[in-house]
Amino acid sequence: MQNVKKRLQDGFKQPRQDLVLCSVCKGRAVVKGVFYELVCTDCNGSGWVIEGSRLVLPLEELVTQLSFKLQQAQKQIEALKRPAKAVGPQRQYQVSNRLGAGATNYTGD
């Protein structure tokens, strides 16, 4: 059962795309122009493209995907910042599991 309202709600819950560095600008989001740097059109100035397809994301979607990526990166930074105490294998398992959940190809389903 997929009425319009349901589909709108689903649309709000964005699936996570695997983003890879744009090969044109090498993830820098800008390319060297003749006189100054220009926004890279191949990645919409984000430095990222969808893995595999190399598609440029529309800006609205790009913002969300970049947010996912940033959240993932922040989680990893926080995990790395945490003092590595000798706490036994259970905690290590939990930490690596959290990282894995964010790093794997999570589709949201």
Task: Rule CB under 5 A: choose which of 19, 43, 57, 62 binds Zn ion.
Answer: 43
Length of the chain (residues): 109
Site size toward Zn ion (CB under 5 A) is 6
Please enumerate in sequence order all residues whose Cβ is within 8 A of that of 100, keeping only pairs 6 or more positions apart, or say none. none
Distance of closest approach, residue 27 Cβ to Zn ion, in angstroms: 7
Distance of closest approach, residue 54 Cβ to Zn ion, in angstroms: 10
> Which amino acid makes up residue 104?
T
Task: Rule CB under 5 A: choose which of 14, 42, 66, 76 binds Zn ion.
Answer: 42
**What residues numbered 21-40 form the site for Zn ion, per CB under 5 A?**
22, 24-25, 40
Please give the helix or strand (H or E) that residue 50 lies within, else none: strand 48-50
Question: For residues 52 and 100, which CB has a smaller minimum distance to Zn ion in the complex?
Answer: 52
Distance of closest approach, residue 3 Cβ to Zn ion, in angstroms: 39
How far is 55 from 51, CA to CA, in rounded Å? 8
Residues near Zn ion (CB under 5 A): 22, 24-25, 40, 42-43
